[in-house]
Amino acid sequence: MTTDSIRFAHRFDGISGSAIREIFKLLAVPGMISFAGGNPAASALPDEQCAELARELLLTKGKTLLQYGATEGYAPLRESLAPYLKDRFSFSCAPEEILPVTGSTQAMDLLCKALIDPGDKVVVENPTFLGNMQAIRLYQAELVPVDSDEDGVKVDELEEVFKREHPKLFYVIPTFQNPTGRTLSLPRRKKIAELAAKYGVVVAEDDPYRDLRYAGEELPSIKSFDTEGWVAFMGSFSKVISPGLRVGFLAANKTLLRKCIIGKQSSDVHTANLNQAIVDEYLRRGLLAPHVERICRSYAEQMNTMLGLLAKCGGVARYTRPQGGLFIFAELEEGMNAADLLMQCVDKGVAYVPGTHFYPFGGHENTFRLNFSMSSVEQIKAGMEKLNQVFSSVKA
């Protein structure tokens, strides 16, 4: 029998892999200016610091770090995460309520593993991060989108959906959202914590961009308003230390976290100890704050350059004005199609991600997402001029 007869699981029906990752393959051309990714700048990756930390950790604790670790995580990291969460995200939790994971993508996967049976409903923002939409779809959940405006997801609609659809999970990116760059307002954060407990819906609060703030005032997390334990908080060090290390964490009430830990036993046993220990040293030695401060100075200039040029870019009808993060979301004039225009732009040497991919049910073909962290100010100027040329010519 040939392997054409392999009987695959139904969870893959209709799933063909991340569209965004296929776009990235088009971009491996020298000189391409990519506004498509969500990667940190190369200059933001602390290679020398990590080299010294890795060496020192392996020489002093190598026998522990190279041995099997606990699924529950590297104990020193859990201990240093607790005060970090209190300080940066305004909520208290015990080390036992924190699970280090292999990138926050794994946190999403474990929450779905713990909660989702086929046919269950999961509410997401419209638009939202497509990687996690795929994670949710692989659990054969039904996605229920709720629109957002300048203040983030619309909580009145959210309550209607909670009431009507009885979802198990609500996935939300409250700060400098992907793809919109928008930040959920304080009253809405409070309201979401209330609605979660009122309707019995677990909230997966995904907040990887928070430390990348270039303007405005910090807001407390949704979880800081969570009195009953319905909010599960997903954090990541991918945007502020390194994505290649694959270290994130999940903070949740003990009952929910226990299911996630059992799930993780069968996912990868535990997150690599060395990688957890490197992140622990960043927190423990106070290396994170000065590093983030340096990154932010540079990203702020890049974002402001892009925003200034968007104002003058032909064909662009409107765009978001984020106070931080990695992304700006823009809309072309009525009738223009950002998905169709991508290939023209790529031919000119500039790329973005068509916004349609971020909407659970597609549509919104005139939208697109721009990333500014991967490009220098000069590249941003050159790339925006190319976009201007393509969009202006189509408009005319």
Tell which positions 87-146 bind a second copy, by CB under 8 A: 102-103, 105-106, 108-109, 113-117, 120, 131, 134-135, 138
CB of 395 to a second copy, least distance (A): 34
Closest CA to 51 of 220, 230, 278: 278
Number of other CB atoms surrounding residue 300 within 10 Å: 17
Structure tokens belonging to residue 324: 């931080």
Binding a second copy by CB under 8 A: which of 77, 219, 272, 342?
272
Structure tokens belonging to residue 205: 């609060």
CB of 159 to a second copy, least distance (A): 14
Closest CA to 205 of 239, 174, 229: 174
Q: How many Å separate Cα 354 from the centre of its chain?
A: 17
- Alpha carbons 240 and 299: distance in angstroms, whole number: 12
Token match 């996630």: residue? 260
Binding a second copy by CB under 8 A: which of 184, 245, 283, 390?
245
Token match 């305004």: residue? 90
Choice between 267 and 304, CB closer to a second copy: 267
Token match 């391409």: residue? 32
Q: Considering CB under 8 A, how many residues would be counted as binding a second copy?
A: 93
Choice between 143 and 197, CB closer to a second copy: 197
Binding a second copy by CB under 8 A: which of 179, 181, 235, 243?
243
Binding a second copy by CB under 8 A: which of 21, 164, 294, 318?
21
Q: Is 273 in the site for a second copy (CB under 8 A)?
A: yes
Binding a second copy by CB under 8 A: which of 265, 337, 392, 393?
265
Q: Which stretch binds a second copy (CB under 8 A): 61-69, 305-313, 320-328, 336-344?
A: 61-69
Choice between 56 and 347, CB closer to a second copy: 56
CB of 69 to a second copy, least distance (A): 6
Closest CA to 185 of 230, 217, 214: 217
Q: Are 247 and 271 in contact (CB under 8 A)?
A: yes
Closest CA to 131 of 106, 148, 98, 153: 106
- Alpha carbons 334 and 71: distance in angstroms, whole number: 51
Choice between 80 and 273, CB closer to a second copy: 273
Binding a second copy by CB under 8 A: which of 33, 36, 65, 353?
65
- Alpha carbons 371 and 350: distance in angstroms, whole number: 12
Q: Is 71 in the site for a second copy (CB under 8 A)?
A: yes
Token match 């407390």: residue? 220
- Alpha carbons 15 and 236: distance in angstroms, whole number: 26
- Alpha carbons 284 and 304: distance in angstroms, whole number: 33
Q: Is 59 in the site for a second copy (CB under 8 A)?
A: yes
Q: Are 70 and 261 in contact (CB under 8 A)?
A: no
* Residues 337 to 376 in contact with a second copy, rule: CB under 8 A: none
CB of 215 to a second copy, least distance (A): 26
- Alpha carbons 367 and 358: distance in angstroms, whole number: 10
Dihedral angle computed from the Cα positions of residues 334, 134, 347 and 318, in that order, rounded to the nearest 10 degrees: 30
* Residues 181 to 200 in contact with a second copy, rule: CB under 8 A: 197-200
* Residues 197 to 236 in contact with a second copy, rule: CB under 8 A: 197-200, 202, 228-230
Q: Which stretch binds a second copy (CB under 8 A): 11-19, 92-100, 214-222, 331-339?
A: 11-19
Choice between 60 and 392, CB closer to a second copy: 60
Structure tokens belonging to residue 64: 């522990």
Q: Is 15 in the site for a second copy (CB under 8 A)?
A: yes
CB of 278 to a second copy, least distance (A): 9
Q: Is 32 in the site for a second copy (CB under 8 A)?
A: no
Choice between 16 and 217, CB closer to a second copy: 16
